[in-house]
Structures are given as structure tokens and as C-alpha cells.
Amino acid sequence: GAGVSQSPSNKVTEKGKDVELRCDPISGHTALYWYRQSLGQGLEFLIYFQGNSAPDKSGLPSDRFSAERTGGSVSTLTIQRTQQEDSAVYLCASSLSSSGNTIYFGEGSWLTVV
Amino acid sequence: QKEVEQDPGPLSVPEGAIVSLNCTYSNSAFQYFMWYRQYSRKGPELLMYTYSSGNKEDGRFTAQVDKSSKYISLFIRDSQPSDSATYLCAGGGGGSNYKLTFGKGTLLTVNP
């Protein structure tokens, strides 16, 4: 596709439920990133993929968060047993490679946990 | 101390004004810097990418990097109401070459 595509764009879920957020990066981009943006906060790094491998998962807040990438393309971020503090915008981004290339963001998945 | 500090504003200017947005950073390993613009309920959009100290100009936008003082700036000339958005600065490179570290963003409003 022309840009990074994320779904759903909006999600309201009940506390304790699991959610899956999907990212479809720009075609040919080998590097994929997940960031989180909370109200009044900057973008917080969550995880980085190079191909299907995740060399850096250091930003995942807890073991309730996991992510995978298949076929070197689509990635899914899963949040288990959601909590209210998980409410945020989850932004996916991709770049041609990991070495200082321009990083392009999707529109984000706006998650509200009630 | 956060690695990238940015005054959150809000900043309000009249149309046509020159806008100066600034960030400081503490990580000497940063090799490149980016400015993103983010409209309300949209994803960040890359505005400027700079790799070294000095100025880089693109239309009404000028990015300035001073690595000696760890200071980065974005200037907007002849500001327009359509420039109203949150502006995010970010640094990257060094040990974690793939990772961008962002400031919290500055909310700018340009009044017609």
C-alpha cells in the first residue's frame, strides 16, 4: 500500500478483555516499529522488528503485551487482560531498513479501556 | 532527565509570523534528528530530517541542529493556519540505531 495501514482505527474494550491491533507496513519496508502515545506524553517506543525477528522488545510495558510479525510484513500487537492505563494511541511505523532511514507512521489505533 | 526535552506550549501566533520550535537533548550518541507534524487524531507526518549540525531548508521550514550545545530547532516562516498542529522533535542513531526518542511535542496554533 501507499502508506502504513493500521486497524482498527478506534477500539473501545472492557477492562480485562484482550485486544489485537494490526499493522500493515509500507511494501518493501523491512523494519517495523510500535510506539505508544498517551495523553500529554511523547511517543514511547515499544518494540522493533527487523524482518520477522524482534531484536528489541525493551519498551513493552509488561508481559501482558506481545507482538509478532509474519512474512516480513503484517504485525499484530496483542494486549491481554487490558487495564485502564493501557488507554492510548498505538502507532505503527516502518522504514526501508533500520539504519537511520526515514520512519513513516500510520494513523494509529486509538484504544480506550473502560 | 529525559533524553529529549521539548516545551509543550501551547504556542499561539498570528498568521504570517515566524515560529521557532526548540528541543534539547542529552544523548551525545544521537546522529540524526527529525521533526514530525501531528494533526489532531492523526499519525505523525515527517517534516524534516537532518543528519549533521547546520541548517536544512525546505520551503517555509528550516531545521537547525547544533550538536555542540545539543540543541535543535524548527523555524516556520510565513506561518499559516494549516500549520496548526503538534510538532514533535526526535533524535536517533548511536547504539540503538533504529530507535527514535521523541520529545513530548509542542502544540502550535496559528490564528488567521
pLDDT tens for A85-96 read: 999 999 999 998
pLDDT of A79? 98
Report, as an integer, the average pLDDT of A14-21.
98
pLDDT at A45 over 80: yes
The nearest CA of chain B is from the CA of A107 a distance in Å of 4
> What is the per-residue pLDDT for B29?
87
Distance CA A28, CA A96 (A): 7
CB contact under 8 A, A42 and B102: yes
Between chain A and chain B, how many beta carbons pairs sit less than 8 Å apart? 59
B105: helix, strand or coil: coil
- Tell me the residues of B at the A interface, defined by beta carbons under 8 Å apart: 4, 6, 8, 31-32, 34, 36, 41-46, 49, 51, 88, 90, 92-93, 96-105
Per-residue confidence (pLDDT) for residue A41, from 0 to 100: 78
**The predicted structure's pLDDT at residue B1:** 62
Q: What is the pLDDT of residue B97?
A: 67
Q: What is the pLDDT of residue A92?
A: 97
The reported pLDDT for the residue numbered B56 is: 92
Q: What is chain A's mean pLDDT, rounded?
A: 93
Question: Where is average pLDDT lowest: A15-19, B27-31, B57-61, B65-69?
Answer: B27-31
| pLDDT at residue B94 tops 90 | no
Write down the pLDDT at residue A1.
52
Average pLDDT for B23-35:
92
How long, in residues, is chain B?
A: 112
Cell 516480513 appears where? A72
| A contacts of B41 (beta carbons < 8 Å) | 110
Cα–Cα distance, A77 to A68 (Å, whole number): 7
How confident is the prediction for chain B on average, in pLDDT? 92
Q: Does A4 touch chain B (CB under 8 A)?
A: yes
- In contact, B103 and B1? CB cutoff 8 Å: no
- pLDDT beyond 70 at B107: yes
Distance CA B85, CA B73 (A): 16
What pLDDT score was predicted for residue A98? 64
Best probe of the A interface among B98, B104, B106, B107, by most A CBs < 10 A, is B98
Bridge partners of A111, per DSSP, are A11, A88
| pLDDT score of B109 | 97
Mean pLDDT of A31-41: 90
pLDDT value for A105: 95
pLDDT confidence of B51, banded at 50, 70, 90? confident
For residue B26, the number of C-alpha atoms closer than 13 Å in the C-beta half-sphere is 7
Give residues 67 to 106 of A whose Cβ lies within 8 Å of B. 91, 95, 98-100, 102-106
Average of per-residue pLDDT across B80-90: 96
Say how many residues make up chain A. Answer: 114
Task: Identify all chain B residues contacting A102, using CB atoms and an 8 Å cutoff.
Answer: 34, 46, 49
Does the pLDDT at position B48 exceed 60? yes
Q: Which amino acid is present at A91?
A: L
A98 → closest Cβ in B32, B88, B98? B98
